[in-house]
A and B are shown apart, each in its own frame.
Chain A
Amino acid sequence: MGLKRLVLLMGLISMVGMIAIACSDDKDNADGDTAVVAAAGARLNMVKDRGNLICAGRTDLPGFGFLDANGANSGFDIDLCKAVAAAIFGDASKLEVIPITAAERGPTIQAGEVDLLSRNVTWTSTRDAQWGNFTTVMFYDGQGFMVPTSKGFTSALDLDGATVCVTSGTTTELNVADFFRQHNMNLNTVVFEDSASVYGAYEEGRCDATTSDKSQLAAIRSGFANPGAHMILPETISKEPLTPAVAHGDDQWFDLVKTVMYTLINAEELGVTQANVDAMRSSDNIIIRRMLGTEGEFGQSTLGLSPTFAVDVIKAVGNYGEVYDRYMGPQGVSFTLPRGDNELWSNGGVIYAPPLK
């Protein structure tokens, strides 16, 4: 009998506790306006309390997100995460990368499980409405097709009736369907959830072609047994602006990440590199001094960043061009891809960032 009383008492206490928790949550989110305002700064505080930045990325795409010889996360997208971590903590190693599949990108950022999604995500209007806030384009790309050279194709229009291997949950899936329908061609697809199976099946000959962003195709081709046996067809059938994304509902966090990205681009414009950033702190150029926090302000305190966060960022990963060249430049560790549209606007490309002032 004593046990039963104890159990009942515990039940009553837990019941009261549950109601209390539920009610407190309700109060916070009852009013729509207060919800948005209360959430501002919430993500940054959560990150600071936790002590590290959680980034969703990948570990299986050379150049963008892969594991180097020591098993550490590296790549273009990973370096963008490192930049944000360096901006907040001054230390790029305070970063945890969670590998996810293409199909999980949307649900992961929607659920707010990660602070930043940096995993070749194409910025589309639908995704902007549903998944989260897209910061700023860091890689302009387009979708293309890769085929075996032996088949003798010269153009994507030769692919009527072909079988194409695609990754599920991507814009490539939709684009290839649109392209074939537009040109009245018959399309057969084989769809897998993970890109490793897609390219494995393509290499086995299960499909006549595979399709993805051209940068991804170049990366994958470099990993094939015989890269020369495959070629990328000339057509670019879509615009693929690859953009890091954050969850909806936190304007401060959104602006913070954007500002870090702008810093990388402005640094290359102004000629600030990983090697010379310390010297540049006392440069003659006022704009450089302001960016590196030596004098003046351009909103760091409103965003919750330290005045010299730009120095930490550039020390950690370098400027935009250095990040690009590290993996995809002439001496890139993964492969070489000409910058093309990814040059600065002043050099004939499309990379442009607002001024930091």
Chain B
Amino acid sequence: MMTTNPDTILPPQTDAGAIGWVKTNLMNSWYNALFTVVMLVVGILFLQMAIGWAVFSADWSAVTSNLKLFAVGQYPQEELWRVGVVLFMLSSLLGVTWGVWGGVARTFALVAIGGAVAMVILPLSMDDLSIEGRLWIGANAGFIAAGYYLVQTIGGAITPKRVIWAWLSSFFIAMVLIRGFQGLPLLPLVGTNQWGGLLLTFNLALVGIVACFPLGVLLALGRRSNLPVISLFSIMFIELVRGVPLITLLFMTQVILPLLLPESIQVDRVLRAFLAITLFSAAYMAENVRGGLQAVSNSQVEAAKALGLSGRHTMVFIVLPQALKAVIPAIVGQFIALFKDTTLVVVVGLLDIVGIGKSIVLGNVEWVSTQREVYLFIAATFWVFTYSMSYASRKLENALGVKRH
């Protein structure tokens, strides 16, 4: 006969620990349990298939043999040192940013150092990535660290404001270095038709971002202006550009722009693509900024007027900072979309990274069946950059205290 001691109560079922977690999160009802099982099965099968394909049967030679093309397109080999110098400059700035701010910059800096070191020890043949190339890339890790230690040693002289100015001017310095000038012996002209690959993608994106922001703010202000002509023109421009796809604008600038200018003015094809991308993004930016301007309450403007600030001062010092801060998620989202939209230039014949991929795969007999590998590589490259941007934007929002839905 079993005796149960009435004072002994069985312990409660665990809700803590690993088993508890599984219960609450995976199996808390019959359909959730079913989902979990199905997802585990599907997931494992898929991973098995994907990894098996990627490691064993996929032919990655189209990617590894053409790393230079993917990175810089048809940039002349003997001028590549200029791109290397630009990378050094940016790495040092990244190190300095890490030293001054920490946080997100630290994450990026550490990832960049890891990436540079990985490129050095990557198990590729010497043809694909020479010793020289590896050293140029690996040295960036040193530059990042150097920037960081510079801040540690000098400290106070490097203010956040100066770092921001440094970033802005580095953009222009980079453009000058990469483009060069006609006839200059040290920096001969490398025309935009020789830029390609990631170099072209970044150029298009950065110029677009830098140019579309002020233009977008101007358009938004113009839309709200009291002068009917400016307001009408801004509204028409914004609605027209937002209503058509970007690819239409790209083709229009390629084909119609030469007709709009007199015959003696020739505009570079890459410049035309810049123009289309900038105008397109400016219209979307204008709408985002307009939302922000509407969010600033009128009392701010009234208080500024009461204090005697002129219209221009009110706009620049009171209204715009609050408006822009309110729509930072939307603005950064727009920048990310712009970066993704630069891929469209392949349709007008420019060789950005997608164009290079396409011409490698379709133009070379040996790689004509490696479409999947090449496009997956390009997709992964893009994903790394866009995910980093959205990660940075989330951290920026948290730091600025912007609330998000």
Contacts and interface: CB of A to CB of B under 8 A. Distances in A.
Direct contact of A and B (CB under 8 A): yes
Interface of A: 3, 25, 42, 46, 54, 60, 71, 98-101, 104, 107, 111-113, 193, 196-197, 199-200, 203, 223-225
B7 interface: no
Contacts of A113: 258, 266
Contacts of B363: 60, 196
Interface in B321-363: 347, 349, 358-359, 361-363
Contact of A98 (B74, B269, B365): B269
B168 interface: no
A200 B264 contact: no
A248 to B, nearest CB: 12
A196 B264 contact: no
Contact of B365 (A71, A100, A111, A223): A223
Q: Binding site of A, secondary structure by majority: helix, strand, loop or mixed? A: mixed
A111 B349 contact: no
Given A60-B363, A196-B362, A101 B262 contact: no
Contacts, number: 41
Given A225-B365, A225-B368, A196 B358 contact: yes
B102 to A, nearest CB: 40
11 contacts: A25-B262, A60-B363, A101-B349, A111-B255, A111-B258, A113-B258, A113-B266, A193-B347, A196-B358, A203-B368, A225-B368
Contacts of A98: 193, 269
A116 to B, nearest CB: 14
A144 B222 CA distance: 58
The list of the 7 closest CB pairs from A to B, nearest first, reads A111-B258, A196-B362, A107-B255, A200-B362, A113-B258, A225-B365, A112-B263
Contacts of B266: 54, 113
Measured as residues with beta carbon below 8 angstroms from the partner, the interface class of chain B is: 20 to 34
B254 interface: yes
Nearest to B255: A107
Nearest to A107: B255
Nearest to A54: B266
A111 B312 contact: no
A60 B359 contact: yes
B255 A200 contact: no
B115 to A, nearest CB: 29
Contacts of A111: 255, 258-259
A100 B269 CA distance: 11
B74 A71 contact: yes
Contact of A3 (B254, B269, B312): B312
